[in-house]
Amino acid sequence: MTIYLRPEITQLSQGLDIDLPDSWLAMVERYLPAMKKYLEYQVSLSKKELSIITLGRDDAFLAEIESHLEDLRVSGQAISIFRRLRRQVTRATWGVKLLLGPEPEIQVYVKKPLPLEAVLSGLRAQGYGAAVAQQIKKVASILEKSYTHFFGADFTPGQPVPFQIYFTQYLSEDASVLRRMEQVVRELALPSHVTEQLIQAHTLLSQPKQTIWISLSLVDGSIYPAIKLDYRNITFGLATRLLETLQLPSSTLDALQMVAETLNVQAADYMGLRLAANAAPSASIYLTRIR
């Protein structure tokens, strides 16, 4: 399948009412060699945002990321964090997510299982204390994991570097994964409505023999009070039912329909759902265009 990146991005941005800066194509072009091998869109149905994701493994790809960070004039701390990750993690696939919009945003992901203790050691170096480490260990224990599956960092200019930790769970016919996730919600001291939303979402989206992603965000020295779930191979029909069940605004349904019509697709490779203590649920879809 031939993908015409520029017209697709233009149409999606217009449908989401995103004011694309003139510089967006130049930002993307630096990653075109990688995008010819892997290209993915993330569409935030709730925030009306569009991101491009690509993957790479070689030194040239990592050098391009570092050059991009320098061009964006991110903080010295951010550059140092990226360089430390690059030194410490070898033979990994790396992901880059570029938010397309008026202000540049870039996130970087290490797509390789990392021992939990190594991740916690890195977080301690960034000022995260023993209480946070213990809570992450407890979450990992609940999920029966001794390693993280992905590790991410947000290098958006002008802000401290938040981190993301991803764990996975393989779904079976029973409710064991749901019970573990409910226990995670309790461990994070999230309110009861998050548990209710979790049960509603999992009941609709879970499919045996699929893997789901469970992620935590770490911001300003603490765990952000939310949990993010990513479910694989979700039809837009199921996605619609979820948006309606969680009573998300009609604009999210409009955005989903727009994506279906623009790209001529009826399913997402993944559907993401963030359930937070002090905010309404937010939903996004991920669509792989080249793999």
Query: What length is written for the chain?
Result: 291
pTM: 0.96
| Separation between Cα atoms, residue 39 and residue 3, nearest integer Å | 9
For residue 215, how many other CB atoms are within 10 A of its CB?
A: 21
Enter the tokens of residue 264. Answer: 């001529």
Enter the tokens of residue 283. Answer: 């939903």
Q: How many CA atoms lie within 13 Å of 16's alpha carbon, on the beta-carbon side?
A: 27
Q: How would residue 22 be classed by pLDDT, with cut points 50, 70 and 90?
A: confident
Between helix 192-205 and helix 236-245 the angle, nearest 10°, is 160
Q: What is the pLDDT averaged over residues 225-237?
A: 98
Residue 246: per-residue pLDDT: 97
Type and span of the H or E element at 134: helix 130-142
Domain range for 73: 5-290
Q: Model confidence over 252-269: pLDDT tens digits?
A: 999 999 999 999 999 999
| 8 A C-beta contact, residue 225 and residue 188 | yes
Q: How many CA atoms lie within 13 Å of 288's alpha carbon, on the beta-carbon side?
A: 10
Alpha-helical (H) ranges within the chain are 5-16, 24-29, 32-35, 59-71, 76-88, 116-125, 130-142, 176-187, 192-205, 236-245, 250-263
Count structural domains, the chain.
1
Which range (17-26, 43-52, 190-199, 256-265) has the least confidence? 17-26
Q: How would residue 69 be classed by pLDDT, with cut points 50, 70 and 90?
A: very high
Q: Model confidence over 102-154: pLDDT tens digits?
A: 888 999 999 999 999 999 999 999 999 999 999 999 999 999 999 999 999 99
Q: What angle do CA 68, 106, 117 make, to 5 degrees?
A: 105
Whether the per-residue pLDDT at 206 is higher than 80: the answer is yes
| 8 A C-beta contact, residue 24 and residue 271 | no
Residue 152: per-residue pLDDT: 97
For residue 49, how many other CB atoms are within 10 A of its CB?
A: 17
| 8 A C-beta contact, residue 155 and residue 162 | no
For residue 125, how many other CB atoms are within 10 A of its CB?
A: 11
